[in-house]
Amino acid sequence: MEEIRVLWITGLSGAGKSTLAREVTGRLRAMGRPVLLLDGDELREVFGAVAANTANHGREGRLALALRYARLCRVLAGQGVLVVIATISLFREVHAWNRQHLPGYFEVYLKVPLEELQRRDPKGIYRRFASGELTHVAGLDLPVDEPEGADWVVDFVPGRSVAALAEALFERMHGE
């Protein structure tokens, strides 16, 4: 298996992308690997992404932003850094671009049922959508493309710890 240089963790809001990315990044750093963590929430701020309920927060704006993330990953991975990115970015165009252009690309899809996402709702997104305060929510009124060729699809298992998930990911990444 080609050395992984971009670990792209995707899923809907509340799926655990950032939590898993932080755990994996910490383990990689403890192993002495040069690694950079990119989180979608932080990247939106860096790239000046607009708030929800605006035209740019719809499909086209999100797609353009996701492709910026992908290009940034290519630049960083090209400098010898392993990039771990946690982002929704659920677009076929992005997945295809990543597979074609990102060196050592490995895609993880955290597939969590909507009921569980609504239960977790760490940012209040699903609650605000239900009350009519928010629109353009990925997976609700904004259609998403589930990855068709993810290297690892992780189905939700109640009670599974992030440590156990990270361990399973390392085994998968190393072809065990």
Which residues are identified as catalytic? 89
* Rounded CA separation 47/65 (Å): 8
Residue 54 gets the label, from left (phi > 0), alpha (psi -120 to 50) or beta, of beta
* Rounded CA separation 72/46 (Å): 12
CA angle 98, 14, 36 (to 5 degrees): 45
Q: Could you tell me where the beta strands, DSSP code E, fall in 14-172? A: 35-39, 82-86, 105-111, 152-155
* Rounded CA separation 100/50 (Å): 28
* CB count in 10 Å sphere of residue 109: 23
